[in-house]
Amino acid sequence: MAYYYNSEFLDEYIGNGMSLLHTFDETKLETRSVSGTEKIHNSIYSILSTHIGERLMLPEFGSKLHTLIFEANDAIFADLADFYIRDALGKWEKRIEVTNVEVRIMEEGNVVPIVISYRITNSNIYDNYIYPFNRSDSSEDLKLYRVGEIKENAVGGLYESYINIKGNY
């Protein structure tokens, strides 16, 4: 059976469900549903934001990424983040294959953007997601990032996603 890689393929293969972020639409008074790559982005965010042992009925679910909060911004941090992300997504997100993990170490702020490039299994669809790794207890720094509002910018034929930071693209 041949598939044409369009929204119908994504809806059939990936599925649809309730949004993890902004679940209730107050203007329409209904819950928000997502499908396609947005569903995968929600799943990646859920997996990487959950600490192992946090879920009651599924204590193995999650990632060890939170153990890196107090690590120095160096190559060891970047390599460990890469390993923990590949391990968690390989175990819990079977719809994708991670092709690259790029940790963008920032000099200022407590949020480290991590670019996760992936391919949807059984297809030729490549996409990427920027996970905002928050290194503080406060959610104030995370408010600079509008998680879920990812903009795509075509540069030289390559597509890279950016998170809207302080209103700048």
What's the distance, CA 57 to chain centroid? Answer: 23
CA separation for the pair 145, 115 (Å, rounded)? 14
The mean predicted confidence, pLDDT, of the chain is 76
Q: Does 116 map to a domain?
A: yes
Q: Does 157 map to a domain?
A: yes
63-84: pLDDT as tens digits: 999 999 888 888 899 999 999 9
User: Which domain CATH number covers 35?
Assistant: 3.10.450.40
DSSP state letters, 99-122: EEEEE---SSSSEEEEEEEEEETT
Structural domain range at position 114: 7-165
Number of domains in the chain: 1
Q: Does 99 map to a domain?
A: yes
115-140: pLDDT as tens digits: 999 998 888 888 899 998 887 765 55
To 10 degrees, the CA torsion angle through 126, 94, 16, 14?
50
Q: pLDDT at position 74, please?
A: 86
Q: Does 2 map to a domain?
A: no
Reported as half-sphere exposure (CB side, CA atoms, 13 A), residue 71 has a value of 19
Helix ranges (H only) for the chain are 7-13, 37-49, 75-92
